[in-house]
Amino acid sequence: MTPALTGTAPFTITAARDYEPEVGALPGMSLGTYEIDMSGGEAAKRLFTAGARQVTLPRPIDVTDPADAAWTVQALSFVGDLSSLAIAVDWQLHTGPDPDAWRHYSHLHPPTAVLGTADPAATALEWRNTYYICKCVFRYGPGFMQVRDRRYGELRRFTIDEPEYHQAIETLTDGAPADAIPTPILDDLMAETLVLRFGDHLWWAPYRVRRWSEAPLVI
């Protein structure tokens, strides 16, 4: 199958049947390597069906490197797809010196390290302590899309029913070049931090809800 985002190459991950590294290392628990050469959502579903409950990315994601923007948006989208299925992810994120930058990504399964911050260990710990599934998600209803975002402490809810916005979000699912989205729509989505820009690529932050951790009205 072809990569989801034009210009990106397939990458290889390793997978295991259990969240705990010690258990994953036992005989029969490793699922070996998988080449991700399809959309992140499809790859995540196939891994879950195969029994994967823990996935390791091949290298860190550096959101401060514009030259690596295509990998950044593809990998972040994949981590979101895995998080939506409650698959643990062994990954590292380089956010740079801004002590609050990690909050943009705090709905994703916590990384093992938050690089570039003044105190990487403390930042990673705060991320783990405040994480829960469905922190920033979107879902479809009849003729509309709803986004529920709690990354910044309070519930922010957006109902999107304009067809042109639906099309833009579909284009953004696995990341997209910056010129693929009409400027007025992009400005609106970026103003609410639902889209982040890295170099000349864009990332749609919410992941699609696949299972509620609690009653939807609580989330």
Confidence of residue 23 (pLDDT cuts 50, 70, 90): confident
The pLDDT assigned to 19 comes to 85
Phi, psi of 189 (to 5 degrees): -70, -35
Strands 88-90 and 30-36: unpaired
Structure tokens at 156: 């922010």
Q: Model's pTM, two decimal places?
A: 0.91
The β-bridge partners of 36 are 11
Residue 217, pLDDT > 60, answer no
Q: How many helices (H) and strands (E) does the chain have?
A: 6, 14
Residue 98, C-beta contacts closer than 8 angstroms, at least 6 positions apart: 117
